[in-house]
């Protein structure tokens, strides 16, 4: 799609691409949609449900970006723990049990050293 913008007596043309700007086979389109929802369900849903990210009230300066980074770090650390159980359960246990938290962090550190 070509978009035309006029501002201050100047006119600019810009080509814009959208998901459906190209023709895909049904199999390829299915793959694209599933890949999108895999990210949405695998990361954003967990951040919202397990960490209540959408209810965060920090809005000033670099606070939102810093806390988002820490949430993702905590999520990655908890994912490395092989025990069965919910993500929320692992995060709560890490908050309550210092020994478990140290175990998670040590496991994360050892995986980073490889």
Each residue of 30-62: pLDDT tens digit?
Answer: 998 888 888 777 788 888 888 888 888 888 899
Q: Are 7 and 35 in contact (CB under 8 A)?
A: no
pLDDT (0 to 100) of residue 45: 80
- Which band of pLDDT confidence, cut at 50, 70 and 90, is reported for residue 114? low
Token pair 């998901």 in the structure block, residue: 19
pLDDT (0 to 100) of residue 101: 92
Where are the domains positioned within the chain? 24-112
The Cα 6–Cα 59 span in angstroms is 34
Q: pTM value?
A: 0.59
**Measured in Å, how far apart are the chain's first and last C-alpha atoms?**
47
The Cα 94–Cα 78 span in angstroms is 9
Please check the confidence at residue 80 and state whether its pLDDT lies above 70. Answer: yes
């Amino acid at each position: 799609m070509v978009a035309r913008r006029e501002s201050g007596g100047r006119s600019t043309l810009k080509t814009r691409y959208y998901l459906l700007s190209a023709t895909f086979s049904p199999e390829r389109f299915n793959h694209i949609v599933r890949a999108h929802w895999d990210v949405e369900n695998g990361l954003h849903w967990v951040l919202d449900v397990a960490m209540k990210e959408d209810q965060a009230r920090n809005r000033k300066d670099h606070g939102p970006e810093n806390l988002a980074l820490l949430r993702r770090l905590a999520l990655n650390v908890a994912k490395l723990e092989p025990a069965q159980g919910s993500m929320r359960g692992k995060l709560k246990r890490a908050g309550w049990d210092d020994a478990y938290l140290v175990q998670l962090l040590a496991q994360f550190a050892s995986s980073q050293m490889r």
